[in-house]
Structure 1
Amino acid sequence: MNSTPPLIFSEARRAAVRSRMLALQTREADPARFILDDMVDDIAERLAFVRHESAKALVVGDYTDRLASQVLTATPDIHQADIVGDHAIDLARPFPRSGFDFIAVLGLLDTVNDLPGALIHLRQALAPGGLVIAMFPGAGSLPRLRQAIYAAEPDRPAARMHPLVDTRAGAELLQRAGWKDPVVDSHNLKVRYRSLDRLVADLRQQGLGRSLASAVPPLTRTGYERARQVFMQQADEDGRVTETFAILTLSGRRSLAGT
């Protein structure tokens, strides 16, 4: 039986989208980063609730450094990583370091081809009893954009947006990966837009561009204009469209026995 995971995402495109995002975060005067900020705030609340204290932590994907500098202030040993740059890490392979009593992954897992394998590697990188919290956009995200993109060229529909994980699939994945005390939940982040172009810019600035492996033709000018119109047809009375980002959270531990 072939155990090779399906090739859904292009690693080269994934890295390019991430690199462009980091460049935009540096270049833009006021770049969008509300998704990451929401994740950091949420993790802070969760850690305070469970009263988890760590001595050695790994933070993956926090390009603002807020989690390390403002939340994990009592943790003496913090390792920072990303999928690009000087401290690049491959979430689909065993981690080069282990023994962490806390690991946070902000974003990134939604575009991993072998998500079950990545969750196993996260568990194995923990010390016995260690905690993982991983967050990323999940099922239910961007319904207004999806409707607009589909309406842009209904005669030639193409895979222009990523498949997304829901809470049920997340729970199954955690069980399959052997996490102890698995918890899966989702919350909605609502953002209001005056134009489709502003939404697209926000997505690019937060690394949510397309990284699918399949090649699709770009939208024609006519198609994109139709998408703009359909998007704005969903506006409220004040002329703004309310878009939804459903943030999925996977959390769990490694057993005290280290299995």
Structure 2
Amino acid sequence: MASTPPRIFSDRRRVSRRQRALSQQTEPGFVLDDMVEDVLDRLAFTRHEPERSLIVGDTSGRIAASLEGEVITRDITRRDALDLEAPYPSSDFDLIAVFGLLDAVNDLPGALVHIRNALAPGGMAIASFVGGASLKALRRAMFEAEAERPAARMHPLIDHRAAPGLLQRAGWADPVVDSHSLTVRYSSLERLVQDLREMGLGNVLASPGPPLTHAAYHRARDAFAAQADADGKVSETFEIITLTGRKSRPRF
């Protein structure tokens, strides 16, 4: 009998995080903008021209707009969110692109299998999300705030070095794993936390730690500020991991 994946993330909190991000009146955010730009470049480079596409998580609408172009016969399905741990209703997409959602699924290998199964033979899948080398300054500040008894404040993220094995395990053909980093400078911990909430990158742990005490919050704020450069700003890192692969064509 197959073992059940541990419930690291809360489905309820994950949905709530997504809804909060979608309710913002601001632009989608620099992380999504970077992911979308990267995927547009990849599609142009590969000259992949899908007839039936599923775009999940691109609230900017730029991927769908680019695919539509002047070809009005293309079938493009857009979803702001989707249950990635359940089988998809169709299995004939030429392209599936998923943005910013794979970082908080309990069964990542299963989610990758579902993506592959939803592709038509020869179809391409692209998934981008925030990776494990992200938010080093914030992690350091939170650890120093509760050095004696650290609580779970930030959920674990995927190490890009583990991704190739995950893709092979999920049966993706021609798997490619890329990662790059964005560096953003912050004048305060509060502004970083605000950005994370607005972009839907907050903690969705099933068993989060208790609320920060007033004293711990001030220690975290001071520890974050102590990492500032001479100009008074802290450089924070966002690692973007992109997975690319295809569904094999049958061999006769």
Task: State whether TM-score is above 0.5.
Answer: yes
- In structure 2, how many angstroms separate the alpha carbons of the residues matched to 1:72 and 1:191? 32
8 A Cα contact 1:31 1:205, kept in partner = no
Is this contact kept in 1: 2:28–2:60, CA < 8 A? no
| TM-score, normalization by structure 2 | 0.95
**Mean Cα deviation higher: 151-160 or 139-148:** 151-160
Q: Residue in 1 aligned with 2:54?
A: 58
C-alpha distance in structure 2 between counterparts of 1:106 and 1:222, whole Å? 37
Q: Which residue of 2 aligns with 1:6?
A: 6
- Give the conservation status (yes or no) of the 8 Å contact 1:188–1:247: yes
Q: Deviations over 1:36-64 (max 9, x none)?
A: 00000000111111111111100001112
Is residue 233 of structure 1 aligned with residue 226 of structure 2?
A: yes
8 Å contact kept, 2:28–2:59: no
Give 1:72 deviation, angstroms.
Answer: 4.9
Shift of 1:153: 1.2
Establish whether residue 114 from structure 1 lines up as the match of residue 84 from structure 2: no
- 1:256: Cα distance to partner? 1.1
For residues 27 and 232 of structure 2, the distance between their equivalents in structure 1, rounded to whole angstroms, comes to: 23
CA distance in 1, matches of 2:160, 2:204: 22
Residue 20 of structure 1 corresponds to which residue in structure 2?
20
Aligned to 1:40, what secondary structure does the other structure show? Answer: helix
**Gapped runs of 5+ residues in structure 1?**
84-88
Task: Find 2:66's aligned residue among 59, 70, 79.
Answer: 70
Is the Cα–Cα contact under 8 Å of residues 119 and 247 in structure 2 kept in the other structure?
Answer: yes
1:167 Cα shift?
A: 1.8
- 1:194 maps to a residue whose letter is S
8 Å CA contact retained: 2:227, 2:234? yes
* Structure-1 residue corresponding to 2:150: 157
Q: Which amino acid aligns with 2:64?
A: A
Amino acid corresponding to residue 76 of structure 1 in structure 2: R
Query: What residue is the counterpart of 1:81 in the other structure?
Result: 79
Which residue of the partner structure matches residue 133 of structure 2?
140
Instruction: Find the aligned partners of 2:138 and 2:27 in 1 and give their Cα distance.
Output: 20
CA distance 1:211–1:131, shift in 2 (3 Å): same
Runs of 4+ in 1 over 3 A off after TM superposition: none
1:37 has 2:33 as partner: yes
Identity %: 59
Displacement of 1:116 in angstroms is 0.3
